[in-house]
Structure 1
Amino acid sequence: MQIKEFLGSVVLDKNAYEVGKVSNMDFDVASGKIETVTLTLQNNIFSKDELEINFDDIETIGAYVILNKEIPKEEETEESSETVEIEIDDED
């Protein structure tokens, strides 16, 4: 697998729940091994958080990146469950 195929891969936790996508990785310059992988977590349509995991937390890399641990989902707060109003100007 090439790096460009790895970046953007969908990440599942050990319970097969979609966590996010691979957005970046850090290498050990001396050994050339991947040390950490940064995941972009998709909380909702308007917010994205990042999570850095150790490469050792990855169980399998293939069609999906599958982790060997569970990533707990954040509880929805009142702020994140509020309706967002977007005003669109309709110019004719």
Structure 2
Amino acid sequence: MKVSDFFGRRVLDKKANEIGKVVDMVIKPKEGIITSMIISTSDFGLTRKDLEIVTADIEEVGDYLILNVEKAELETRAQSNTEKEKVRLDIRK
């Protein structure tokens, strides 16, 4: 499967709720592996919220990318990462 095959692919959580679509990937070029994918929850810039999933979150790849986690858990992770980043920025000041 090509990396480009993932872009635009719809993503469902483990309860089959649509989360969004794949818009970007984080890769390790030297190892040739995908470490995570960025999921956009909206097509609109003002309400767009991106969530990051790691490859361990993927249950199945077919017409949809099906995850083994719920959307709420991904949102909690995103909020936690944002708070950690704010702390890092405060420390650097």
Would you call these one fold, judging by a TM-score over 0.5? Answer: yes
Superposition RMSD in Å:
2.3
Report whether the alignment pairs 1:32 with 2:6.
no
Bigger radius of gyration: 1
1:33 to partner: Cα distance = 0.7
1:24 and 1:35 map into 2 onto residues whose CA distance is 11
Any stretches of 5+ residues in structure 1 without a counterpart? Answer: 75-92
* Structure 2 counterpart of 1:82: none
Offset from partner CA, 1:40-75 (integer Å, 9 cap, x none): 01298951110111111111111000001001298x
1:29 to partner: Cα distance = 2.1
Q: Percent identity?
A: 38
1:69 and 1:5 map into 2 onto residues whose CA distance is 22
* Structure 2 counterpart of 1:22: 22
* Count of residues in correspondence between the two structures: 74
Tell me the secondary structure at the aligned position of residue 42 of structure 2: strand
* Structure 1 counterpart of 2:78: none
2:28 and 2:54 map into 1 onto residues whose CA distance is 12
- Please state which structure has a larger fraction of its residues in strand: 1
* Structure 1 counterpart of 2:55: 55
Tell me the secondary structure at the aligned position of residue 42 of structure 1: coil
Q: Which amino acid aligns with 1:11?
A: V
